Structure 1
Amino acid sequence: MRASRLLSLLLLLQTRGRMTAPALAEELEVSVRTVYRDVEALSAAGVPVYADRGPAGGYQLLDGFRTRLNGLTAEEASSLFLAGLPGPAAELGLAEVVANAELKLLSALPPEPRSHASRMRERFLLDVPSWYRSGDDVPFLSSVADAVWEQRPLRMTYRRWGQREVERDIHPFGLVLKGGSWYLVAAPPGGSPRTYRVARILTLETLPGTFERPPGFDLSGFWHQYAKEFRENMYTAEAVIKLAPGAENLLAYTMGQDVVTAALARAEGDPEGWRTLTVPIESITHARWLLLRMGPSVEVLGPPELRHLMAEAVAELGKMYG
C-alpha cells in the first residue's frame, strides 16, 4: 500500500510540478504528517525531492529528473480504453488521434496489462445516446472545440427555446457531453458562465485574438452545480397520485428513479396495496402526458386541473376505442 502511495506522490510531482504538503495530502487522501514521512522516504531512496520554504513554497523534483515508471496496473491500463469513446472522439475530429494513442499505449505495455487492455476493448463498449434517440447534429463542434483549446473568442447565432434567434459574442471555457448531446460552457466578455447546446448554433465565427480564462474556473464543478440547479428548477408544481401494487418500476421509468424513491419514502398505503404519494412535476400538461403512459396503474388525485385533463383524455380514448 505504501509503495503504491510513494509512486503516486512521485508521479504527482513529476506531472504537476511544485505542490504543497496539504495539496499532496488531499490528493493522496492521507494526513500532512504522512506526506512528510513519504517525502523523507523518497529522498532516502535517492529521489531528488526538495522543499521551498514560505507561503508560496512546496515540494518539487530537481529540474530534469524524470522517472520512466508509469505505475499502470493491468486494470488501470484497461480503463484508459473506456475513455476513448469512438463516437464523441469522431465528432471532435479526434478519431484518428485516439486510435493512434491506443495503439501506442498497447505497444508500450508489458504483456499482462496489454492482454487485459485488449480484452477490455473487445468486450466493453460505451454507447452514450439513450434509447429511441440519436445524438445531436453538431456541424460546428470541431470549430468550437478548437476555440475552447486555443482560448479564442467566438461570435455565434444561437437558436433559443421558442425558435428565437440571437447573436452572441462569447468566451468558450469548455465542452460537456451529456446524454448524447454536447453543451458549451461559455461567458459573454466580462459576464458569468452560461450553458449553450451546441446543436442550436446556427452560424459560427472565430474572432481575432485570445481571452483569459477566469482564475480558478473548474469546468466539472460548474457543470455539477448547473445540473443540480437545473433539476431543482425544472419542477414547478406537485401532483398527488395513487399507484397500483407492483407499478413502482413503471413509475420510475416514467418519472425517474430519484424522484420516485424520494416520493415512495413518504407514501401512504391502503389495504389493497395501492399507495398515495406526492411527486414533483414540470407542468400540468407535461404531467398529463407522462401519467397517461401508465394507463390504469396510476390514478391522479390532484391538483383538480390535472385530474380533469386526465379524465378528458380518458373519455376521448373511450370514444375512439368504443
Structure 2
Amino acid sequence: MNDTAVRYLQMVLLIPRFPNSITATKLHQKLQDLGHKIDKRSIERDLNKLSSGNSPFPLTSSEGRPAQWSWLREAEVTHLPALNPATALTLELAHRHLAALLPHNALVALEPLFKSARKVLDETAQLGLARWSDKVAAVPENQPLLPASISASVHETIHQALLTEKRLEISYRAAGQERPKRYPVNPLGLVSRGGAYYLVATARDYPDPRNFALHRIASATLLDDPAIKPVGFNLRRYIAERSFELPLGGDLNLELRVSPWLAGYLDERKLSPDQTLTPIRGHEEQRLHATVANTDQLRWWLRSFGPNVEVVKPASLRRKLAEEFAEMAELYQG
C-alpha cells in the first residue's frame, strides 16, 4: 500500500461521526504526529476528494470557517477489520436487552453500529451463529405484565442528569396518590426490575436514597446545581442490601412444609446457601429450613404456591398468612 493510500485510511479513521467534528488544522496535526510529512493545504484537497460524489466515504463539512469535518450521522459503520458474526450477534443481543438502560445520546451514537451488526447477521443468515438470536429468549418467572408507559422526555432528562451528575426537579405521583408533587432530587442511579425502571435518588436535602418509578414521573427538569451524593453511596451495594425487595427488617429462620414437586424444585434452586430439605416420617411432604431476608417479596413468593407450601416457623409469619388465607377463603365462599 502506497503512502497516499495509508494517509487516506488514517484520515478517515480520525474523522468523528456527526455531531462531533474535526478541522483540517487539527487533522493535519494528528497526521504529522503519525509521521506524515504533508502540508495543511494538501489535507484540505484530500478531504474534498474523499467527500466527493465518487468517494465511498460519506463525509460532510460545515459551511463556516474553519470547516468542521464529520462522518454523516446515518453513515454505515465501517470496520477495519469488518464485524464478524459473533461480534454482530453480541451487539444485536445487547441492543435488544439493554437499550432502555442506555442514555438516549448513546443510543443515537450507537445506532449505526447496531444497524451494521444487523446487516452482517442478515448477510450471514446461512450460518448457525447468525441465527442464534432467533434461538434464545428470556422468559419471566412471574406472570408477564405489559410495561408501564414512560415519557420519552422524562427518560432522556434522567439519563442526562445521571451523565452530568446534575440535580433534577421532578413531578412525581406516588403510589396511592391522585396528584403529583414537585420537588428536587439528586439522581444516583437507574435500575431495571421486573420490566419496570426506577430512579434511585435522594429527595430535597434528605440523605436516605429512595426509589422513584419512572412511569410515575410526570415531568423532569434538569437543574444547573450539581447532584449531592451521599458519602460512601454505591449502587450495587444499595441493591445488595435488599432495597428493591421491600425489606421489613432482619433475617428469618424459615421452616416450611413443602409438597414433593416443590421440594424437587427447591432442591435445584435453593432459597439460601444454608437451606436443608429433610423427609417427614409418614408423609410425602418434606421439611425445609433456610435463613432468608424478611421482605414483602418473600410473602408474595410464599402466597404464590398456595397449598403446596405451609409456613411452620416463624409463628408471626404463619399467623399473618393464616389471616390472609382465611380472608381469601371467605371472599371466595361469598
> What TM-score range do you get, normalising by the shorter chain?
0.5 to 0.7
- Kindly indicate whether residue 224 of structure 2 is the aligned counterpart of residue 204 of structure 1: no
Query: Could you say which structure has the higher helix fraction?
Result: 1
Q: Distance in 1 between matches of 2:254 and 2:304?
A: 15
Q: Structure 1 regions of 5+ residues with no counterpart? A: 1-61
CA distance in 2, matches of 1:213, 1:72: 42
Cα distance 1:278–1:141, how it changes in 2: closer, same or farther (>3 A)? same
5+ residue gaps in structure 2?
Answer: 1-31, 36-78
Cα distance, 1:124–1:174 mapped onto 2, change above 3 Å:
same
Cα shift at 1:157: 2.9
Larger radius of gyration: 2
Deviations 1:160-180 (A, max 9, x none): 466496543234354333331
Scaled by the length of structure 1, the TM-score of the pair is: 0.54
Amino acid at match of 2:255: V
Mapped pair 1:270 → 2:286: no
Equivalence for 2:247: 234
CA spacing shift, 1:210–1:108, aligned 2, 3 Å = farther
Q: Once the two structures are aligned, what percentage of the paired residues are identical?
A: 21
Q: Which residue of 2 aligns with 1:133?
A: 145
Q: CA deviation at 1:93?
A: 5.7
Counterpart for residue 307 of structure 2: 296
How far the C-alpha of 1:201 sits from its partner, in A, is 1.9
For residues 64 and 210 of structure 1, the distance between their equivalents in structure 2, rounded to whole angstroms, comes to 42
The partner residue of 1:181 within 196, 207, 222 is: 196
Whether contact under 8 Å (2:169, 2:185) holds in the other structure is yes
Structure-1 separation of matches of 2:166 and 2:313: 52
Structure with a larger share of its residues in strand: 2
Greater displacement, 178-187 / 125-134: 125-134
Q: Distance in 2 between matches of 1:228 and 1:107?
A: 39
Q: 1:193 Cα deviation (Å)?
A: 6.1
Q: Distance in 1 between matches of 2:202 and 2:297?
A: 33
Considering only aligned residues, what root-mean-square deviation do their CA atoms show, in Å?
A: 5.1
2 CA distance for matches of 1:238 and 1:168? 41
Q: What CA distance in whole angstroms lies between the structure 1 residues aligned with 2:295 and 2:227? A: 41
| C-alpha distance in 2 between matches for 1:114 and 1:168 | 55
Are the equivalent residues in 2 in contact too, given 1:85–1:126 (CA < 8 A)? no
SS in structure 2 of the partner of residue 154 of structure 1: strand
Q: Which amino acid aligns with 1:78?
A: L
Aligned equivalents of 2:139 and 2:109: distance in 1? 19
Q: Partner of 1:225: helix, strand, or coil?
A: helix
Alignment of 1:1-322 (within 5 A): 69=80, 74-85=85-96, 88-89=99-100, 99-105=111-117, 118-124=130-136, 131-139=143-151, 140-160=154-174, 163=177, 167-187=182-202, 195-207=211-223, 209=224, 211=226, 222-230=234-242, 234=247, 236=249, 237-248=252-263, 257-259=269-271, 261-262=272-273, 265-271=275-281, 272-279=283-290, 280=292, 282=294, 287=299, 290-311=301-322, 313=325, 317=329
Instruction: Determine if contact 1:81/1:117 at 8 Å carries over to the other structure.
Output: no
- In structure 1, give the amino acid aligned to 2:170: M
| One-letter amino acid of the structure 2 residue matched with residue 196 of structure 1 | F
Q: What is the DSSP-based 3-state SS (H/G/I as helix, E as strand, rest coil) of the residue aligned with 1:300? A: strand
Residues 300 and 79 of structure 1: is their aligned pair in 2 closer, same or farther, counting only changes over 3 Å? same
Q: How many residues align?
A: 248
Aligned-partner Cα distance in 2 for 1:319–1:113:
55
Moved more, 119-128 or 298-307: 119-128
**How has the CA–CA distance of structure 1 residues 277 and 240 changed in structure 2, closer, same or farther, with 3 Å as cutoff?**
same
CA distance in 1, matches of 2:330, 2:254: 24
Give the structure-2-normalised TM-score: 0.53
